[in-house]
Chain A
Amino acid sequence: MSKNDIKIALIGNPNTGKTSLFNQLTGLNQKVGNYPGVTVDKKLGKSKLSATQNAIITDLPGTYSINPTSLDESIVLKTLLKKDIKESPDVILVVADVENLKRNLLLFSQIKDLEIPTVLAINMVDQMTRKGISIDLSLLKKELNTEVVLISARKNEGIKEVKEAIIRCHVAAKASPLCGINSKIDPDYFENLKKISPNYSLYELWLMVTQNNYPDTITKEEKEKLLAFKQDVPKLKKYQHKETIYRYQEINKILKKTYIVDKSKAKDLRSRLDKIFTHKIFGYAIFFVILLIIFQSIFDIASVPMDFIDGIFAELSNFTRNSLPEGVFTDLLSEGIIPGIGGVVIFIPQIAILFLFVAILEETGYMSRVVFLMDKIMRRFGMNGKSVIPLISGTACAIPAIMATRTISSWKERLITILVTPFTTCSARLPVYAILIALIIPDTKILGFLNLQGLVLLLLYALGFASAILGAYILNKTLKIKSRSFFVVEMPNYKLPSFKNVFYEVVEKTKAFVFGAGKIILALSVILWFLASNGGDEFKNAEQTVIAKVENQNLNQEEIQQRIASTKLEKSYIGMLGKSIEPAIKPLGYDWKIGIALITSFAAREVFVGTLATIYSVQADDEDTTTIKQKMASEINPDTGKKRFNFPVGMSLMVFYAFAMQCMATLAIVKRETKTWKWPLIQLFGMAFLAYVSSLLTYQILS
């Protein structure tokens, strides 16, 4: 970022096409970062305004006003109140929807009162004729005292004009307020408020009072004076109400002169579509069909690229082992780092497909209808309609799902949603289920067409959802949190999804997942590799001991190598760890080798399969499930002389993986979103306890 770059904040109501405009202005020059001090993602993009002028654009979450009620919205306020030169925007670009101009101008009028140069972009003007809308642009510019541009972001119209307006606005003199809230509400009160500091606009001071949010630059003295203004809470509330009414009055005055709607033309497709999508019966049927399509795609379409990626990483690992000189570094690379990265990359297809569907559903406006349909049902369990989105997203990965709870304004409902989302069957459980089902469930058809193995998998998914719902119900009854549950959802117009927006959304979210979860899994694979390839004296002497032992057994070279690897693992640090927890997991039907896999997969569930692969000394192909499967199938329980992975053990393991919170990345995200270690720890121990008890019962009943 160079010093001369203009810093632009992009602000607007949800569903105004803000993201479309951001994509048009920045193209692929986008990146996701963290807001300093607030651990929430922010989207930044670089834009070329003219031959000599560049800009850095920050895309802020959609908001209806700068009086926040959700985490997403509070980010907007925080950005605007920042007085840090590096952070505060030079120009604000407000995006409005031509059809809801009145409501959009409320936000605009608040922003304008902050006295920061502001450009208003009125979007979707290609719809104007159809909706019978006409605007007197030059008069509107004069009345609003700002740059106004008519655009159609999806059709790439008016983008050049927006850039020009930003440059003009940037060099112009300091902006003046639009409404001047002081005179109409309580002139004396606001006159006194203004006296506190000349460094802030009156509206900034008023926001500090009402929102309890102060910029870093404010002095202690100023803050104390401000506190005196907020003692009478009912009065503040009354003033806020008055302020809003006054703003609307001013906006109405302006729009009366400049904006005409011919209502006879306004009837459209929306009401007819709404009749179907929000219908008491069809509405649910359609939602169910859409869910079915999503799940089918996640598993059917994704399996091809997943197998492909799987193969590539196995090859790569082999290639490194064979072509680099033998040594610790080669081992680390081929056994630690490459399989570690592979373990993350393999989930990209599933996650991308899920994000694709979620992005399309949101772009079309359908998601709001789902929220509407599901709210009452979800409320019985202490969540709300908006919780449906995290629960669906959770089937790909809990991390983005938990981040999607930010739009829920009630803290209790949001917390419950965060706490139960990890119960939904995420894609990391899939490899574990797949291999265990293949081992213990016969590949037969029931009723002639239902695949029994597939049915068991479906039941495991149902178990995930059921436990999420039940968990929410219990939390709702036990958590004593007083939280205002205020629910309002805008039902946007139906739109065809824009390919560009969907594409960027999928790329960006997938990237965030890969780099977010990737770091942790990679670090853990290295640690695991170290613990598995080091040990005490017995570990170091494993080779001699084994060779001495098998001298008379007539084994070929390969078998001897496998024995050595197994012995080494048993005597390694991780093996010692596995042995030490054996007494605790024996009642569940597990031995120390499975114990190791439980420990290692604490970091991420999918590590289970890879660990077993190592444990059963499959040396050739770490990720090839047929060989792992064969090894697991032939593993004998020395106590019974029968198969180790029999039906009760397999079921017990699957139940364990259904409930246990085995994902460090999720724990980290929960810590980040709840801002305390309390909730992730409760989640960790609560779910571990549940997992232990239910696998114990499963094993004891079945065996």
Chain B
Amino acid sequence: MNTIATLRIGEIGYISEESLDVIPLKLLEMGCLPGAEVELIQQAPLKDPIYICVNGSHLAIRKETAAIIQILKSEI
């Protein structure tokens, strides 16, 4: 299963519709919507937290959160 946590630096994915119910409300509000493009920009040492760009927002989130958000490798 592909999640935001499995992205490599520079790689792009699209948040899947199935993730809607598991994405924390806060992240939804910050632009992590189903269908949105996510790019992994940087990983902190020990690969956590990660720095992503989603829907124009640049966010740092922890890996445990990233691991529950499913992505598709191509646009829906």
- Name A residues whose Cβ lies closer than 8 Å to a Cβ of B: 64-65, 67, 69, 99-100, 102-103, 106, 237-238, 240-241, 244-245, 248, 270-271, 274-275, 278, 280, 284, 368, 371-373, 375-376, 385, 486-492
Contact = CB atoms under 8 A, between A and B. Distances in A.
Interface string B16-44: 00001101111111110110000001101
Contacts of B1: none
B29 A99 contact: no
Given A103-B56, A106-B29, A488 B51 contact: no
A276 to B, nearest CB: 11
Given A373-B44, A486-B24, A102 B56 contact: yes
A489 B41 contact: no
Contacts of B60: 368, 371-372, 375, 385, 487-491
Contact of A244 (B29, B41, B49): B29
Most buried by B among A99, A100, A238, A488: A488
B49 A487 contact: yes
B57 A103 contact: yes
Nearest to B58: A491
B67 interface: no
Given A376-B46, A486-B26, A245 B56 contact: no
7 contacts: A245-B28, A248-B33, A274-B42, A372-B42, A372-B51, A486-B26, A491-B59
Contacts of B30: 64, 103, 488, 490
Contacts of B34: 245
A240 B20 CA distance: 11
Contacts of B45: 280, 284, 373, 376
Contacts of B20: 241, 245
Contacts of A372: 42, 44, 49, 51, 60
Contacts of B23: 241
Interface residues of B, number: 30
A377 to B, nearest CB: 8
A487 B29 contact: no
A488 B61 CA distance: 5
Contacts of B56: 99-100, 102-103
Contacts of A373: 44-45
Contacts of A248: 31, 33
Pairs A-B, 3 closest by C-beta atoms = A491-B58, A489-B60, A65-B29
Most buried by A among B26, B31, B59: B26
Contacts, number: 101
A489 B59 contact: yes
B62 interface: yes
Given A238-B21, A241-B20, A375 B42 contact: no
Contacts of A100: 56-57
Most buried by A among B24, B34, B58: B58
A536 B76 CA distance: 88
Nearest to A107: B29
Given A274-B41, A487-B62, A490-B60, 9 more contacts: A99-B56, A100-B57, A103-B56, A244-B28, A245-B28, A284-B45, A373-B44, A385-B60, A489-B49
B57 to A, nearest CB: 6
Nearest to A63: B29
Nearest to B49: A375
Most buried by A among B23, B33, B57: B57
Contacts of B6: none
Interface string B41-75: 11011101101000111111110010000000000
Nearest to A73: B26
A489 B46 CA distance: 18
Contacts of A274: 41-42, 51
Contact of A237 (B25, B26, B31): B25
A375 B58 CA distance: 17
A191 B76 CA distance: 35
A241 B41 contact: no
Given A99-B56, A100-B56, A241-B20, A491 B44 contact: no
Contacts of A371: 60
A649 to B, nearest CB: 44
A431 to B, nearest CB: 38
B7 to A, nearest CB: 16
Contact of B31 (A102, A238, A375): A102
Contacts of A103: 29-31, 55-57
B2 to A, nearest CB: 21
A375 B62 CA distance: 9
Contacts of B21: 238, 241
A696 to B, nearest CB: 39
A100 B55 CA distance: 9
A204 to B, nearest CB: 19
A335 B24 CA distance: 59
B52 to A, nearest CB: 9
A270 B41 CA distance: 11
Nearest to A245: B33
A373 B44 CA distance: 6
B31 to A, nearest CB: 5
Contact of A69 (B26, B33, B58, B65): B26
Contacts of A271: 41
Contacts of B44: 278, 280, 372-373, 375-376
A225 to B, nearest CB: 25
A103 B26 CA distance: 12
Contacts of B62: 375, 487
Contacts of A102: 31, 55-56
A52 B23 CA distance: 50
A241 B26 CA distance: 10
A245 to B, nearest CB: 6
A67 B25 contact: yes
Contacts of B25: 67, 237, 240-241, 244
